[in-house]
Structure 1
Amino acid sequence: MKLKLILLFLIIAVSLPAEVITFLPSYRKVVFLTFDACETKTPSYFDKKILDFLIKNKIPATFFISGKFANRNRETLSEISKYNFFSIQNHSYDHNLHMEKMTDADIEMDLNKTSQLIAEITGKKPSLFRFPGGNYDNRSLKLVEDLGYRVVHWSFESGDPDKKMTSDLIFEKVKRNVKRGSIMIFHINGRGWHTSEALPQIINYLNSEGYHLELLENFLKNEKFN
């Protein structure tokens, strides 16, 4: 009987589908603030207004950083990695918007190169990954998971890369869509045009509604207790 149970467990474990996390159920009123940071056609840097606000208010935030962005922003990345309310994660090296078209070898090389660079700068290797543009297929997803990463995307888009999205529009979109377990996505590479103006409104609203901000990494480590 014991052998049958072990075999059944192994069969289930092997057949479990790869997973993209877009929402994290919890009995607690917890939500997650995430920021993407990648290179654009021109050199990109951390949005200082956003960083200053997050640091001043000690707001838990998870940053998905591309390798090129990390390399260009080494000093700032090293500094912010010292805050225990920040988490630095992998967002690929070149920010290829169609990693599903890359070979297995190229995907593995890309992720390893990025994680090694982030570990070199921050002293800690990422455990989470976010596909650029949210684009993937079953093969690329399984490969990333086999490399030891959990893939985390988002519950809804804030729309902040759109210049037409004013701070009020961003706030209203968050207010309309956020709920317990939501993973919010913004940009901190200078392409979140009105994000720094919207954040105080968003944080005040979340606090007034009793939401608790938490790091993805910490929550996932203790998932069964949340």
Structure 2
Amino acid sequence: MPTWISRTLALLAGLAATWPVRADIVTHLPAQPAKVIALTFDGCEAKGQPAWLDERIAVFLEAQRIPATLFVTGLFAKRNADRLGQLSRTGLIEIENHSWDHPRHLEHLDQGAIAAQLADTDEAIRAVTGSKPRFFRFPGGHYDAKALAAVENSGLSVVHWSWESGDPARDLTPERLTSWVLSKTRPGDVLIFHINGRAPATAVALPAMVAELKRRGFSFARLDEVLK
């Protein structure tokens, strides 16, 4: 097994206790009549760490008419407002909530701070797209019962991922990323990548991955198209 995959699996095993499996957190799409999967991309920006949209990914999705879901922080939404607005108006891309400034452990905040993280990001995204987000993704996948309740009380539903792509890994090549994703993908999977310029292998690997997934009979859907 390649070293980078071994490290990823070891990391996930170590974090399993902080990612409890909950029936009310979506990690897989409901049964569909076809081999549908969801491409999702995180646009993460923390305080003092400016991040810009990876145009290579955005242009590819537009050119190939591939529907996808972006989970963005409020800071990322404000910094990339014009481009995110353009993408949302294509009808291909939905923009969803990923907290205001990507605290790695949202569950460590008090209820008021969590509510502000959600509400401020909702407003930033609404200013960009004209619509309130429906879904939320916890930064790093970390949460507890209190944080989950705060999100659900805000009217947002939590969507995580079926398995980690590992695309921010520094030593990950496009070839390894492609091989890993193609070996793991099954119907109904929610795939996670990053579109904040800190996962350089993704933009290079995406065309080949998508082409091969299509060849295997997979199609792509926005989360709001399949999660009612």
Shorter chain as denominator, the TM-score bin is 0.7 to 0.9
Equivalent position to 1:20, from 25, 30, 53: 25
Deviation digits for residues 47-89 of structure 1 (CA, Å, limit 9, x no counterpart): 1111111110010110001001111111111111101111000
Equivalent position to 2:43, from 37, 51, 55: 37
How many Å separate the matches in 2 of 1:202 and 1:186? 12
Structure 1 position 18, deviation (Å):
6.3
Q: Say whether the 8 Å CA contact 2:167–2:201 is kept in structure 1.
A: yes
How many Å separate the matches in 2 of 1:145 and 1:205? 37
Aligned twin of 2:224: 217
Q: Does 1:81 pair with 2:88?
A: yes
Moved more, 71-80 or 55-64: 71-80
Give the alignment's Cα RMSD to 1 decimal.
Answer: 1.2
| Mapping 1:134-145, distance limit 5 Å | 134-145=141-152
Q: Does 1:156 pair with 2:163?
A: yes
Q: Does 1:96 pair with 2:88?
A: no
TM-score, scaled relative to structure 2: 0.87
Sort the Cα spacing of 1:159 and 1:145 in 2 relative to 1 into closer, same or farther, 3 A: same
Structure 1 position 117, deviation (Å):
1.0
Aligned twin of 2:70: 63
Aligned twin of 1:121: 128
Q: Say whether the 8 Å CA contact 2:30–2:226 is kept in structure 1.
A: no
Higher Cα radius of gyration: 1
How many Å separate the matches in 1 of 2:191 and 2:23? 22
Give the secondary-structure state (helix, strand or coil) at the position aligned to 2:42: strand
| Mapping 1:42-53, distance limit 5 Å | 42-53=49-60
How many Å separate the matches in 2 of 1:202 and 1:98? 32
How many Å separate the matches in 2 of 1:103 and 1:30? 38
Deviation digits for residues 28-63 of structure 1 (CA, Å, limit 9, x no counterpart): 211000000011553210111111111100101100
Unmatched tracts of structure 2, length 5 or more: 1-21
Q: Does 1:188 pair with 2:192?
A: no
Aligned length: 205
Q: Say whether the 8 Å CA contact 2:30–2:227 is kept in structure 1.
A: no
Unmatched tracts of structure 1, length 5 or more: 1-16, 222-226
How many Å separate the matches in 2 of 1:76 and 1:210? 31
TM-score, scaled relative to structure 1: 0.88
Give the secondary-structure state (helix, strand or coil) at the position aligned to 1:163: coil
